[in-house]
Structure 1
């Protein structure tokens, strides 16, 4: 992937959204891994996302935002990531609530996170939604279909066990690597299945 862009950038830009669904570890680990890979992250986290990150990981808003290269408030609708002219490689929402999924599916850019997702789709860039809910009702499934038809990727963080993970951290890491690879981040390193 060419990461230089028209302005001579040397590293890819990735928008990271975090919402209030369970699974905050995915968003936190994604930010940590992007820092290691020298990916420029633009974080937008909802108020419910902040609350859930604190509940599940102990991080407060300041500590969470410190993991990102840039952090934007959900109400900051004039932020750079609200415009298609701001070139990014992709956007990941990790985790993604059903409310956010519905807003994206119906083009409701009512906050910066959903506006950035809408921009990502309209610019034909990669949008990965790590949806967290179970079981799915028909509205959830229809919204997932709608986002898929628009070019988005529905990526529930379902763990794989064929590599015989030894910890929750290993499960989270593998899912994050797969999501980064889906976004075209060259140095992501999901484990490849080599057969039995």
Structure 2
């Protein structure tokens, strides 16, 4: 998400789309050949977390994952992002939904959290924006408790010529990193000492779940 940090317009466009499943589905299919319902299904797993769980949402963007929390759910929910624009939108969304969260400015490769702190980390639409996503995965792993889960998605190369050209175009204008493959994603987790439980490709979007 860091490639969007300086653009309020981009933040509004992204939030507008991701907050409306009816709009995100055709947009995801056209641009990335993906079924966005997989992302929303993962978001809804937040509601199954037991009381008192510590959840890290990074990069939180404008807070789309907040919809996964149940009203009154007892979570220590930390939303982190490098972008002040996104954090402001997350705080506003949490207030509208009545969700108690902590919003923190943070670089995903240098998180300001202690080791072994979180029970779950969410990471949607962020890793492909980074120049070194493997470093971000290692840092997130450091912050997770033993047995904690890391779930999310990332855009990868190799799904098709059209999607690869889109990745290259976004890379040239600074919104994406150089582009990685599904095999690269698996190596990020193994290199961070995590077990891959799920690695599912939907178009150019790799959906993952791993356990520390």
Identify the structure with the greater strand proportion: 2
Task: Report TM bin, short chain.
Answer: 0.3 to 0.5
TM-score under structure 2 length normalisation? 0.45
